[in-house]
Amino acid sequence: MKTNLKAVLTGTHTLSGNEAFIEGAFAAGCRFLAAYPIMPAIETIERYLKRSAEVGATFIQMEDEISALAAVIGASWTGKKSMTVTSGPGFSNMMEHLGLGVMLETPCVIVDVQQSGPSLGIPTRAGQGDMMQARWGSHGDYEVITLSPSSPQEMFDFTIKAFNFSEKYRTPVIIMSDEYVAHKKEKVIIPRADEIKITPRRYFKGQKDKYLPFKRDKDFVPRMVDIGDGYKFHVTGLTHDDKGYPIMLEECQEYNVHPILWKIRNDTEKIIEFQEIGTKDAEIVIVYYGATSGAASKAIKQARDLGIKVGSLKLDTVWPFPDKKITELAEKVKAFVVPEINYGQIVSEVERCSYGNANVVFVSHGENGIDNTEDIVSAIKLALNEEKIKKGIIEYQSQTGRV
């Protein structure tokens, strides 16, 4: 693919998370967006349209989120890198086609700008309540790569990463943004186009009648072709064989779905990224991601000033979950503190992976929004004084009081 210089706005900019996402998408080569307007994701569409003419990108506003993701999957098969943006209620709508994207093994990127929930919740406030839905929301077994940026700069970087993962593994990739990251304006440094690493789509090159859309390479990832190249392939959302023909047998279910899961599970070491600070001598490790990063890092500083040995583990990739890292840390540390803007999602994963070797203290940001450094500090103190080896999650009771 030719590099479109206009697509990469090299330089330093002040961008919101939503805007940085679009710049990241253009830099990664995305040229198709289908979306349905929803707060707080709407600025992405506006930014996209502002730049689409000069970049040469196509947009269509679909009638709902279900069709938006369907259109994105269809568009991806024409060879265009495609994406959609949405927020909580729309993300629920997309679950149907998240499954289709996994089954058709179609590269695409979904951005979920999380808001509060369930149902309509508060569309103008941040939330992290969709983390489990991203992993388990669609029916059947699937693996999905989920990135969680915490700032506009990360939004830009992770978007490129997301497109690269989606092309490399032929799978939908979800970016779990949230209202806070989406609207926060910060400095974003966009590198030169030749400095951005882009994974190109892996095409099948061979005889036209020999193409099998689901014939796997050694790494379990099949090669793609575009519609209109004359391969006359068939793909289906039903359990299928290498040819893409539906076969209603348990053996085929195993043959088909097992590699879809294992192409990602085998490569978790390469996919998972996290930022680990000061965990070597730490007694307490704070595990956080996305919008809670600000409060968490402030709390870490305050706790360190108090003389508590606190380390931090920021999850860049939430799914696949860094099980091994948590297990390894659980053997060394006394407790984990997990702040989240929900009522307990990733914390249960942390508790699972610690196998009872460390306490897990959960700080819910339910009532205080994202900025409750004090609660996190108090939770760190609580974790320090709690008896060791206590199974189950200890929920920190906020001092500000719950209704």
Partner 1 sequence: MEPLRKTEKDIHPMDDLLRMDRIPHIWCPGCGIGTAVTAFAAGLAKAEIDLTKTCIVSGIGCTGRVAGYVKLDSFHTTHGRAIAFATGIQVANPDLKVIVFSGDGDLISIGGNHFIHAARRNINMLVICVNNFIYAMTGGQVAPTTPLATYATTSPFGCVEPPFNIPYLADSSGAVYVARWTALHVRRLTNSIAEALKKPGFSVIEVISPCAMYYSRINRLGDGLDMMKFYHDNTEIRHGEDTKNLDIGFQTKIIVGKFVDRERPTYMDSYNKWLSGTKKD
Sites of contact with partner 1 (CB under 8 A): 31-32, 34, 52-54, 58, 60, 62-64, 66-68, 70-80, 82, 96-97, 100, 104, 227-238, 245-246
- In sequence order, which ranges of 110-207 are alpha helices (DSSP H)? 131-136, 152-169, 179-183
Q: Which of 153, 167, 184, 196 is nearest to 8 (CA)?
A: 196
Would you give the end-to-end CA distance of the chain in angstroms? 56
Nearer to partner 1, 64 or 331 (CB): 64
Shortest separation between residue 273's beta carbon and partner 1, angstroms = 30
Distance of CA 324 to the CA centre of its chain: 19
Shortest separation between residue 196's beta carbon and partner 1, angstroms = 23
3-state SS, residue 397: coil
Measure Cα distances from 390 to 328, 393, 395 in Å: 17, 8, 12
Nearer to partner 1, 76 or 372 (CB): 76
Shortest separation between residue 249's beta carbon and partner 1, angstroms = 15
Nearer to partner 1, 51 or 314 (CB): 51
Q: Which of 166, 206, 4 is nearest to 82 (CA)?
A: 166
Shortest separation between residue 166's beta carbon and partner 1, angstroms = 16
Question: Helix crossing, 152-169 with 17-27: angle to 10°?
Answer: 40
Neighbouring-strand partners of residue 16: 185
Sign, CA torsion 93/34/264/217: positive
Nearer to partner 1, 213 or 320 (CB): 213
Nearer to partner 1, 235 or 393 (CB): 235
Shortest separation between residue 227's beta carbon and partner 1, angstroms = 5
Nearer to partner 1, 97 or 365 (CB): 97
Nearer to partner 1, 191 or 237 (CB): 237
Nearer to partner 1, 31 or 365 (CB): 31
Shortest separation between residue 248's beta carbon and partner 1, angstroms = 10
Asked if 360 and 286 count as a contact pair (C-beta separation under 8 A), the reply is no
Shortest separation between residue 360's beta carbon and partner 1, angstroms = 38
b/e code 197-213 from CB counts within 10 Å (16+ = b) = eebebbebeeeeeebbb
In angstroms, rounded to a whole number, what is the distance separating the alpha carbons of residues 350 and 30? 34
b/e code 172-187 from CB counts within 10 Å (16+ = b) = bbbbbbbbbbbbbebe
Shortest separation between residue 56's beta carbon and partner 1, angstroms = 9
| CB atoms inside a 10 Å sphere around CB 368 | 17
Extract the runs of DSSP E, i.e. beta strands, from 251-291. Answer: 274-277, 284-288
Nearer to partner 1, 54 or 273 (CB): 54
In angstroms, rounded to a whole number, what is the distance separating the alpha carbons of residues 345 and 288? 12
**Which DSSP symbol is given to 203?**
B
Shortest separation between residue 256's beta carbon and partner 1, angstroms = 14
